[in-house]
Amino acid sequence: MATLRDIQNRIKAVQSTQKITKAMKMVAASKLRKVQTRMLDLRPYAEKMHDVLISLARGADRESHPLLAFRPRKTVEVVVVTSDRGLCGAFNTNILKAAQACIDDYKKDGFEVSISAVGKKARDYFKRRNVPTRNSWTGISGSVSFSNAGDIANDIKESYINETVDEVIVIYNAFKSMVAQTVTTARLLPLAPPEEGEEKAVAESEAADFIYEPSMEAIFEKLLPRNVNIQIYRALLESSAAEEAARMSAMENATQSCDEMVEKLTLQFNKARQASITGELMDIVGGVEALKG
């Protein structure tokens, strides 16, 4: 049975842990406010840019730019975006489960799968399972910048243009609310979804009559590479915001658990103290009775 001193030490340890979880929640809240503003500012721009380019690409010659090239799928690149640190609940577990399921489905359909990992959790996950990754980037979560997105996007664009990969999929946690994150799978390249088929793309191109200024080639040369950078940047910001929200929620739950544990330990301490006092009183009473005898 635990002594009073042992229970007191446990209470102090839990209270110290509670201080840490509260502090981590406050830090996560501060980081979330900063990254959430950037994410919300970028989101409509990224969505509209992607939609416009898809619309233009369906009515354009696929040979007009290497990033528009549509070829039979043989190798699929899966970019998995996770965090560098833990203590954020099921944030990383959910994304890694979804990524593994996606990879298994592609392999089942007979495609070769190339994996790129963003974040230490994704890198370590595949490393532990002896799954080779084509490339990995760490130290990004918590300090996302456009240059980070540019480094990743340039590597992806180079692989696609060199025909090392035929399709690029990005899997990340999108920020939905303070208590919810949505695992999102987005096709980055090629722009026009291949399952729609060439016939439908041709029909749409015939229906739409675009006027390009200064020229179709100049527009695609400028916007297509930038779109890849923007979409990667959006995925990183969404993932970073979702990570901080998940960490806030996890730390709040941990703080509440500490409160409950302190209450239970305090009750246990009071019971043990009462039992100790009762035992001492019984000893005194017994001693007095013995003297009377």
Residues labelled catalytic: 88
| Cβ contacts of 125-134, under 8 Å, gap ≥ 24 | 125/82, 125/96, 134/77, 134/159
Chain centroid, CA 262 distance in Å = 32
75 DSSP β-pair partners: 112
Residue with token string 């939905």:
176
Confirm if 72 and 109 have CB atoms less than 8 A apart: no
**What kind and span of H or E run contains 279?**
helix 216-292
79 DSSP β-pair partners: 116, 170
Confirm if 175 and 30 have CB atoms less than 8 A apart: no
- 138, two tokens: 């760490």
Residue partners of 96: CB distance under 8 A and separation at least 6? 80, 82, 121, 122, 125
Residue partners of 111: CB distance under 8 A and separation at least 6? 73, 74, 75, 76
